[in-house]
């Protein structure tokens, strides 16, 4: 079967495919290492052209009625659903994630974002503020041109999560996918045009960090929305500050998942699996520090090891495969170095290990301590670190003892305790007796070093618009002289 996934051209500017004039960008299928497409980065001139095209197209798009803009997004969602099989296959080739995941999670989540914001569009209103005989009102207005910069783990979902609220508010966007997974965003650009989006409103440029940096500081760009690591977030936030640009920062994490003695064991184990091994562990919100209360610890580890042993790793295009390869060799090496550091520091390997080639198996450590690298650093791979705890105050203090604050989870049958603990955790997105579910209706994002702003839900609208206040005088104007 041919794995050729060569797009019409590398970039998408002003409504049409355009070949990149920069360095070559080889796209490889993580499972075999085979080249599936050869793209070219955008030159710096092409980044500027894309931003200019967006700036030129934005006023007419913003002048369309909200219901018309919403209709375009809703149509795009329907097209995605019609082509889900083909798009999911491409996502699997681009990322290496098992087809059984991409068929239900990636483009489908993108379609839900387009559908949600498309439906919300016409009901976004301002406020009326009575002021005696006078009054004031507010208008939610677009920011202008938004730059979107994506990570490689959920390339098409990230593109949709950023494009949907931005476009519905009347902004234009220039999106740069990760250089590791550049294919899905080009499909989104084509689909949006087919759904009726005017040329220039959504553009795609390709490239490594320097292309993202050029996008961040382009004179036409009013907002930068990044999904990526904390170090990149620091650089992008600082560069955006120079031009007083708005930012959304969806960054990394080292999130706690706390399992109390009274938790339902089977559900807690299932959640820990979803919180660590889905997408081969390459998920920002993963609960990679699993705090186990002393009474449930042994039973939890035994059951977890038993279930993890049954995982089916293999060809991501095989519908039976549950665990795929890591996105590239450099990332797999980074994960292996972390596993080695865990063993050297004295943590006990319950299951898994370094694996070989593109594969790192689901790996679980026990007897870890908070100061170990495996309990501190984001590994971004299938590595779960379990830590023992005794009481509530202690676990809350230890769970918060990190600079990150993306997500957190609590498993207990005592719901009073669940809400009390969640209220004390420093995290932007939390789950009680569940993990890693991110419905479009719920705001998603982090606190502390994990980020700023929120994606999904009506809350995202605030991050892709600005408020204009209008005071309306209804009487005579009095002046002192």
Ligand X SMILES: NC(=O)c1ccc[n+]([C@@H]2O[C@H](COP(=O)([O-])OP(=O)(O)OC[C@H]3O[C@@H](n4cnc5c(N)ncnc54)[C@H](O)[C@@H]3O)[C@@H](O)[C@H]2O)c1
Catalytic-role residue among 115, 180, 190, 250: 250
**Residue 450 binds ligand CCCCC=O (CB under 6 A):** no
CB of 204 to ligand CCCCC=O, least distance (A): 20
**Residue 153 binds ligand CCCCC=O (CB under 6 A):** yes
Of ligand X, ligand CCCCC=O, none, which one sits near residue 438, judging by CB under 5 to 8 A according to partner kind? Answer: ligand CCCCC=O
**Residue 232 binds ligand CCCCC=O (CB under 6 A):** no
145-149 and 134-142: which strand pairing?
A: unpaired
Binding segment (CB under 6 A) for ligand CCCCC=O, from list 170-178, 283-291, 319-327, 408-416:
283-291
**Residue 283 binds ligand CCCCC=O (CB under 6 A):** yes
**Residue 438 binds ligand CCCCC=O (CB under 6 A):** yes
**Residue 288 binds ligand X (CB under 6 A):** no
The question of whether 250 is a catalytic residue gets the answer yes
**Quick one: tokens of 118?**
């498309």
**Residue 190 binds ligand X (CB under 6 A):** no
Question: Applying CB under 6 A, which of residues 95, 156, 285, 293 lies at the interface with ligand CCCCC=O?
Answer: 285
Residues 6 or more apart whose Cβ sits within 8 Å of residue 222: 143, 144, 145, 146, 171, 245, 246
**Residue 27 binds ligand X (CB under 6 A):** no
CB of 283 to ligand X, least distance (A): 7
CB of 161 to ligand CCCCC=O, least distance (A): 8
**Residue 201 binds ligand X (CB under 6 A):** no
Question: Applying CB under 6 A, which of residues 57, 284, 308, 418 lies at the interface with ligand CCCCC=O?
Answer: 284
Chain residues binding ligand CCCCC=O by CB under 6 A are: 153-154, 283-285, 436, 438
Chain residues binding ligand X by CB under 6 A are: 149-154, 176, 178-179, 208-209, 212-213, 216, 227-229, 232, 235-236, 250-253, 284, 378, 380, 406, 446, 451
Q: Which sequence positions are flagged as catalytic? A: 250
């Amino acid at each position: 079967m041919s794995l050729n996934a060569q797009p019409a051209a590398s970039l998408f500017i002003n409504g049409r495919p355009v070949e990149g004039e920069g360095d070559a960008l080889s796209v490889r299928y993580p499972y075999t290492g085979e080249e599936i497409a050869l793209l070219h980065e955008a030159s710096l001139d092409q980044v500027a052209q894309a931003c200019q095209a967006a700036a030129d197209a934005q006023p007419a798009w913003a002048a369309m009625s909200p219901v018309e803009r919403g209709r375009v997004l809703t149509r795009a969602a329907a097209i995605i659903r019609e082509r889900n099989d083909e798009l999911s296959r491409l996502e699997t080739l681009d990322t290496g994630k098992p087809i059984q995941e991409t068929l239900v999670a990636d483009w489908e989540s993108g379609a839900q974002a387009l559908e949600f914001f498309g439906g919300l569009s016409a009901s976004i209103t301002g406020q009326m503020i009575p002021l005696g005989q006078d009054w004031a009102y507010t208008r939610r207005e677009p920011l202008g041109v938004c730059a979107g910069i994506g990570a490689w783990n959920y390339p098409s979902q990230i593109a949709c999560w950023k494009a949907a609220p931005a476009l519905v508010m009347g902004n234009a966007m220039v999106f740069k996918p990760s250089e590791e997974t550049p294919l899905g965003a080009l499909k989104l650009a084509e689909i949006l045009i087919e759904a009726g989006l005017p040329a220039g409103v959504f553009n795609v440029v390709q490239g490594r960090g320097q292309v993202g940096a050029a996008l961040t500081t382009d004179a036409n760009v009013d907002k930068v929305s990044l999904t990526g690591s904390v170090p990149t977030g620091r650089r992008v936030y600082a560069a955006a500050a120079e031009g007083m640009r708005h930012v959304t920062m969806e960054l990394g994490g080292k999130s706690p998942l706390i399992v109390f003695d009274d938790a339902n064991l089977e559900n807690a184990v299932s959640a820990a699996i979803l919180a660590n091994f889905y997408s081969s562990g390459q998920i920002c919100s993963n609960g990679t520090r699993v705090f186990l209360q002393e009474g449930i610890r042994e039973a939890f580890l035994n059951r977890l090891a038993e279930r993890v042993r049954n995982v089916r790793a293999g060809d991501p295009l095989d519908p039976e495969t549950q665990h795929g390869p890591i996105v590239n060799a450099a990332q797999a090496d980074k994960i292996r170095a972390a596993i080695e550091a865990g063993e050297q520091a004295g943590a006990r390997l319950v299951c898994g290990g370094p694996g070989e080639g593109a594969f790192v198996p689901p790996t679980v450590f026990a007897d870890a301590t908070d100061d170990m690298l495996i309990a501190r650093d984001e590994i971004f791979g299938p590595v779960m670190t379990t830590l023992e705890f005794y009481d509530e105050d202690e676990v809350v203090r230890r769970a918060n003892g990190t600079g990150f604050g993306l997500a957190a989870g609590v498993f207990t049958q005592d719901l009073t305790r669940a809400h009390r603990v969640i209220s004390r955790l420093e995290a932007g997105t939390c789950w009680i007796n569940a993990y890693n579910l991110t419905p479009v209706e719920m705001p998603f994002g982090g606190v502390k070093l994990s980020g700023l702003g929120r994606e999904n839900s009506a809350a995202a609208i605030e991050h892709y618009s600005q408020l204009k206040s209008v005071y309306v005088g209804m009487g005579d104007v009095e002046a002192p002289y």
